[in-house]
């Protein structure tokens, strides 16, 4: 990895900088001498960044669910720095609750922020990056974007959507000089647990799931170390396509990969026997204990 102290300083635009990974990454980037367009719904929450890094930070209001707010923030950021080198889509929140318990309104609000908000900000910044044929987009996903768990199905599904959008976008812009990095953290001590919104409806059968969410998950990851890793990875010569952060994330993803390999191997004969015109009966191919 290159020496970060000698690198060209970048202009970062980060959403959701009032707390969590957004806040820590903004501080780390500023400490490293980069420039930051720090955005959140209420800039009063990040006034201290202006006081400490006034020469290298601009704090702006940005609500990822408001297209006009996004447009204004991007325009002001570009007007100040003439470019955006790195966009970090960090704004988001979590909804906890079983699938059956989650209302349509609760699910749609979760998608509005975590998916459509990310999509809208990205679409507003992309023209500026394409014009220069240079830029990196960092999308904050989660280990739950790769392997979901009970009680976090709606939140996890938004991160699965972020994964799909990111993989496609990376393919679309790879010949335009642009890169994309997914950040997939495990359980970090960012205040996520305290700010998670539990669904209103509660069904007794799902009480054990709810109890696990409310006290059974250990948030041991250090967000400051995560921010250091994100900035280092984003500013090295070849940013990774995926940055998985945390022992729990590595364990969870490896468990999912093992399950997928087992499932594929067990059902491979059935999966391959799908060609048109093949007159062989598929049923005998089903594993003996499943028929």
CA distance 222 to 233: 17
Encoded tokens for 43: 């800039």
Query: Percentage of the chain with pLDDT > 70?
Result: 97
Count of CB atoms within 10 A of residue 257's CB? 12
Residue scoring higher pLDDT (37 or 210): 37
User: pLDDT-based confidence at 195, cuts 50/70/90?
Assistant: confident
Please check the confidence at residue 2 and state whether its pLDDT lies above 50.
no
Please check the confidence at residue 245 and state whether its pLDDT lies above 80.
yes
CA distance 237 to 274: 44
Mind listing the pLDDT tens digit for each residue in 56-90? Answer: 999 999 999 999 999 999 999 999 999 999 999 99
Specify the pLDDT at position 100.
98
User: pLDDT-based confidence at 3, cuts 50/70/90?
Assistant: very low
Please check the confidence at residue 256 and state whether its pLDDT lies above 90.
yes
Specify the pLDDT at position 4.
43
Which domains, from first to last, does the chain contain? Answer: 4-245 (3.40.50.720), 247-291 (no CATH)
Residue scoring higher pLDDT (191 or 108): 108
User: Torsion angle of alpha carbons 222, 86, 242, 252, nearest 10°?
Assistant: 30
User: pLDDT-based confidence at 219, cuts 50/70/90?
Assistant: confident
Closest CA to 58 of 69, 226, 74, 67: 74
Task: Give the active site residues.
Answer: 141, 155, 159
User: pLDDT-based confidence at 1, cuts 50/70/90?
Assistant: very low
> Quick check: helix, strand or coil at residue 81?
helix
Please check the confidence at residue 192 and state whether its pLDDT lies above 90.
no
Please check the confidence at residue 5 and state whether its pLDDT lies above 60.
no
Please check the confidence at residue 289 and state whether its pLDDT lies above 90.
no
């Amino acid at each position: 990895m290159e020496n970060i102290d000698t690198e060209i300083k970048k202009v970062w635009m980060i959403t959701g900088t009032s707390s969590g990974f957004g806040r820590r990454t903004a501080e780390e980037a500023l400490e490293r001498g980069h420039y930051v367009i720090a955005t959140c719904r209420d800039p009063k929450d990040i006034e201290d960044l202006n006081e400490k890094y006034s020469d290298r930070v601009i704090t702006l209001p940005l609500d990822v669910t408001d297209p006009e707010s996004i447009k204004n923030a991007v325009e002001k950021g570009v007007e100040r720095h003439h470019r955006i080198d790195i966009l970090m889509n960090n704004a988001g929140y979590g909804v906890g609750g079983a699938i059956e318990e989650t209302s349509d309104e609760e699910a749609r609000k979760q998608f509005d922020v975590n998916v459509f908000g990310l999509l809208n900000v990205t679409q507003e910044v992309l023209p500026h990056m394409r014009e220069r044929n240079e830029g990196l987009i960092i999308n904050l996903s989660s280990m739950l974007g790769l392997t979901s768990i009970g009680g976090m199905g709606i939140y996890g599904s938004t991160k699965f959507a972020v994964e799909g959008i990111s993989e496609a976008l990376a393919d679309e812009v790879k010949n335009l000089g642009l890169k994309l990095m997914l950040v997939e953290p495990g359980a970090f001590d960012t205040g996520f647990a305290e700010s998670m919104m539990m669904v209103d409806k509660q069904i007794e059968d799902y009480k054990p799931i709810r109890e696990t969410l409310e006290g059974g998950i250990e948030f041991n990851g250090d967000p400051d170390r995560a921010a250091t890793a994100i900035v280092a990875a984003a500013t090295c010569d070849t940013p990774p396509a995926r940055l998985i952060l945390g022992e729990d994330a590595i364990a969870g993803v490896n468990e999912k990969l093992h399950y997928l390999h087992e499932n594929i191997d067990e059902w491979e004969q059935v999966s391959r026997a799908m060609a048109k015109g093949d007159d062989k009966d598929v049923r005998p191919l089903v594993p003996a204990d499943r028929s």
